[in-house]
Amino acid sequence: MRRSLFTTPRIAASDITPPERYLSRRALLAGGVGLAAAHTLGAGMQSAFAETGDALAALRNEAFSVTERPTSFEDVSSYNNFYEFGTGKNDPARYAVKLRTRPWSVTVSGAAEITGTYTLEDMLKPHPLEERVYRLRCVEAWSMVIPWIGFPLGDLLKRFKPTSKAKYVIFKTLKDMGQMRGQREPVLDWPYTEGLRMDEAMHPLALLAVGMYGRVLPNQDGAPLRLVVPWKYGFKSIKSIVSIQFADRAPRTAWAIAAPEEYGFYANVNPAVDHPRWSQASERRIGDGLFAQRHPTLPFNGYASDVASLYSGMDLRRNF
């Protein structure tokens, strides 16, 4: 089992990939400079973030990592849910190559002192990257173990100085049916929208990922920037983010709009509350083979000692 979250990570700041190493000079020389930010958060970036598939070094943060063996890269990058590219598990790997992830920008709006549109590079620059091995538990009752590379979501959000009206943070994925063929079908209410309560978003386990398995994220896994919220069902972990909004109300999220009886706002992994159409008590680990023994699903996906207190006093059957 993992160590407590609140032990000091055995990782020195100097061990983590410094921004000048993951912001690739090669891309700069090739002219791959990001969009100009309407406002800059810092000194303004000169070079572009490394390309999809490029090596991305980051030291593992053991205190925040599970010790289970990671699922193979092949499985994690070929068995995906990314409905913008189709509803089949292999569709994202096949069709997400069309997604242009450089240049990329993210619009930050709503209840914060600092808002505007920022290049990917502006968003990433001050944040040292680290590797964290998290379990991802999909609502479809399968799971994977993935070594993500990223940085805490809260560290980014703090830079925008959210005001006291910011009770929730809302994320949106790109909407562009030219690049995302799945958006031609009304499978979900596009753009894919997700949200977190502010205290959930600030929790140190909530990660913004830019890479996995030592490389820049493949498009099908949510390049160039995706959320990973390990104690919640996988659908909260929104991919290819272009908008972050601070709000006083919870958003209507893509899956809750599609099937409100089945997918709630909280979506905390909970083996005691079944999905209306199937049990959530156990999960199939991708890569184990169809006939392998299922794993028991753990409350909050195994992160209960770290996050259960966020929900004290709440009825988790009603707030599913």
The verdict on 71 binding ligand MTE (CB under 6 A) reads no
Minimum Å gap between C-beta 222 and ligand MTE is 6
Residue with tokens 């925040």: 64
Distant-in-sequence, close-in-space partners of 100: CB < 8 Å, separation ≥ 6: 179
Q: What is the DSSP string of 286-318?
A: TTS-TTSPPEEPPGGGGTHHHHGGGGTT--TTT
The verdict on 235 binding ligand MTE (CB under 6 A) reads yes
Q: Count the Cβ atoms, other than its own, within 10 Å of residue 209.
A: 25
Minimum Å gap between C-beta 255 and ligand MTE is 8
Whether the Cβ atoms of residue 92 and residue 82 lie closer than 8 Å to each other: yes
Minimum Å gap between C-beta 220 and ligand MTE is 7
Binding piece for ligand MTE, criterion CB under 6 A, among 197-205, 233-241, 298-306, 309-317:
233-241
**Which residue among 82, 246, 263, 300 contacts ligand MTE (CB under 6 A)?**
82
Residue 282: strand pairing partners:
296
Subset of 110-139 contacting ligand MTE (CB under 6 A): 136, 138
The verdict on 237 binding ligand MTE (CB under 6 A) reads yes
**Would you say 142 or 168 has its CB closer to ligand MTE?**
142
Whether the Cβ atoms of residue 126 and residue 268 lie closer than 8 Å to each other: no
Binding piece for ligand MTE, criterion CB under 6 A, among 75-83, 120-128, 199-207, 295-303:
75-83
Minimum Å gap between C-beta 82 and ligand MTE is 5
Subset of 198-227 contacting ligand MTE (CB under 6 A): 221-222
Minimum Å gap between C-beta 252 and ligand MTE is 15
**Would you say 9 or 92 has its CB closer to ligand MTE?**
92
The verdict on 268 binding ligand MTE (CB under 6 A) reads no
SS3 content of the chain, % helix, strand, coil (to 5): 25, 25, 55
Minimum Å gap between C-beta 90 and ligand MTE is 11
Residue 28: strand pairing partners:
none
Cα(49)–Cα(104) distance, integer angstroms? 10
Quick check: bond before 224 cis, omega within 30? yes
Whether the Cβ atoms of residue 33 and residue 103 lie closer than 8 Å to each other: yes
The verdict on 195 binding ligand MTE (CB under 6 A) reads no
Minimum Å gap between C-beta 44 and ligand MTE is 29
Subset of 139-168 contacting ligand MTE (CB under 6 A): none
**Would you say 37 or 91 has its CB closer to ligand MTE?**
91
Binding piece for ligand MTE, criterion CB under 6 A, among 29-37, 110-118, 234-242, 292-300:
234-242
Distant-in-sequence, close-in-space partners of 98: CB < 8 Å, separation ≥ 6: 179, 180, 181
The verdict on 246 binding ligand MTE (CB under 6 A) reads no
Q: What is the DSSP string of 235-287?
A: GGS--SEEEEEEESS----HHHHH-TTT--SS-B--TTS-BTTB--SEEEETT
Which tokens is 155 given?
């560290």
The verdict on 84 binding ligand MTE (CB under 6 A) reads yes
**Which residue among 22, 49, 64, 83 contacts ligand MTE (CB under 6 A)?**
83
Binding stretches for ligand MTE (CB under 6 A): 80-84, 136, 138, 173, 192, 221-222, 234-235, 237-240
